Amino acid sequence: MDSVLKTTGGEEPAAGEQVPIPCFRCGICCTCYQAPLDARDIENIASVLGISQPEFISRYALKVPIREGYLLRKAGSDCVFLSRDEGEISSCVIHPSRPQACREWQPGLSQPACLEGLVRLKTKGELARMDELLGSDEERREFYSSLEQALATTGHK
């Protein structure tokens, strides 16, 4: 069973042709979507946190009328488990045990959250340098390949 992230308004992101890109750790997806939690997610995360499942639900889950029954809570506008460092680079505090919907999330140029993240990465009117965002030559090659694919699918070169 596939889990689907929902916007805070309950909508699912549009499913367009997905051109994958590396995650830039902007945290936008963790701000505009809430991960649904199934019983397995609740059990895994509660275990990692060292708390009971009822305590996890009480502290970190929001009961909603969806198939799974629960969404991760927000802390302000962010997922309760989203952390940002001083440079505004985002990370998930529970990344190894994150919900299935988060595991299935694929950053891509067809994802509105990723496009917004790219816009936010502008520095002085320019995107941040690739060597600041992507640590290795392989990551840069994969990113450029993704951009070429995206341009090809839109008819641009």
- DSSP single-letter state for residue 18: -
pLDDT tens for 3-61 read: 555 555 555 555 445 667 778 888 999 998 999 999 999 999 999 999 999 999 999 99
> What is the rounded CA–CA span in Å between residue 4 and residue 19?
18
The residue that leads in pLDDT, 100 or 22, is 100
Could you tell me the pTM of the whole model?
0.67
Residue 70: pLDDT band by 50, 70, 90 thresholds?
Answer: very high
Contact call for residues 4 and 67 (beta carbons, < 8 A) = no
SS3 state of residue 12? coil
Q: What is the pLDDT of residue 95?
A: 93
